[in-house]
Structure 1
């Protein structure tokens, strides 16, 4: 992404344009320049005095003196009118600038160091926080923030290109997924001896710049890192099917070093290395900092809870009631399906009310199932919830009907 290409108007050229426009407006509105008006006034006054000199007498003195006294008053009145006209023109100019700015960037697509990447307008932190909703994409470029509309536009454009190349997005975790790392101080002498004996002449250290091995002693980070078996083969084959990101809750220095071990030539990830400091929610991963449409994202991670933000949106707004699903005399809040529903963002209830959207049951004959049919609520079997949890996407309710059989109860 080229910031220069998106910024056709820079601050310096904007100032020059505004000055030129202001001068033009003021000169056109006044009709004649102030200097020209004064020359004309001097000429008229001079002629008047010459004419009076030809017929000079004592009776004319008072009239000439009165003319001399009135002239400064006339000039003063002209200056007041000119000032008022100038102020009016300045007000019109300010309104023009404001309307022009609004037409150029409504709203601003993003900011680089608080300068709009399109129009070049400066925005301080307070104004940005108040008027513009922007997400930081520091991993792409330091101090880069993009607004929601611009992110949506970029995602839509990139999605078309991705589909054309028949690919999807793959967001990869690092630790316990692609590799394992441990601090050097935590490695016992016995473990160090084992590693040296096992990988001697087979693996290499990154200290000599060789990243072809799978075991690395990273002195600057005081860590020992081991790549998972066949990880290089996996990345090579995945690269043909996916546009890949690294997303870790580790620090940025660690993330970049690990990405270099996995991808020495930078052909798999490029700048798409997201670390803890890039997340908008502390200690949680979110796709809001991934420039990829969610419908085309595959996530590979060993820990579900770091993705509570994505998962909790799956059934947001749904209210579930369970009928004949859980054993009696057991707290329903501790049941697996109940907890899964809440993790997916649904709210669960023991009682029926108009806010209920789904009844989960195995029997059409229960009171709650009949209520769902009468009120035209969703009536599904537990497989709907399990499939939704598996795909992290709400599944079509009509594909999970309840088998018909006789029964009663609640």
Structure 2
């Protein structure tokens, strides 16, 4: 691989590159919608929606996947990895690589014959690099789950889970409608795969800038790049962990912050730059506000980890919304459609790659449509919001910022 100036890239299939659903998991209404979409998509040179009659299954490719695979294949040897069975893996490889030149047979399937799709994450399963030819020091993994790679976490780039179909959200216990239900999708030019491509291109560039390639370890490069994201941030958490938590340093949020370069502490001091809190009113939050420190929602840490850059703190202030910004609800996209900033983009992050902040929100989902959003001719331009709908098809929210939106929602409840 080194002679061809390539590293090894292991790509998870389900919820990373695509999303699949069995016929029986799709209700009649959405079946009809999908048939119309599939017929429209069929004539395009690069399709994204497929109906497999012989497998009884729908498959939706993630936006940007064609560009991602084309460019990644030039600097990486691609491997496809799924927990689905061999039939499923083979069919998906044909869809993503019709000519057979991208993966060249490098397809790994670990599912049983009866497991067509990747199973429920709550059932303990794991992946490894045993079937990947190449040194682990030259392997990068892209997956929506960190749990399935217990022995290769240092090779892993975690991405936001792609859940296009309603049944996929139910599979992971996620609230709110799916992308299919709201009829919007990620934008290929700045969605998850576009962000991923920028990261792996950077890793490749740094790796091959060294002369003695056998002495270089891509895991060290990845860790170094991660630590740059929140470097210089000293973080204290306020009522984010359970009261009386004896080992807060073992909490995934604390570990994520440190993995991406922040220094975490239990106590406030003059070096603290950020207070991470779900709500206002605590002593630590009041101190931060009085001393000019950042007060951010926990989603700021997770968004930074997924973006591979420090997210804008002003988009994640608890004061912007009396309800958590990163609710497990894609339906908020409808109200956030005209908002710029990363909070709008990451309104679904919480229940994707990082589900631990999920909070029940059933009552609001029933009453959200009672909020008067107003209307404007078209949404404001939004470079960082991949779900922004087309201007001519949307009754856009007219709120100036999240504070206005939050006030309208709270006033309607």
TM-score, normalised relative to structure 2: 0.37
Q: Which has the larger Rg?
A: 1
Taking CA–CA contacts closer than 8 Å with sequence separation of 6 or more, which of the two structures ends up with the larger relative contact order?
2
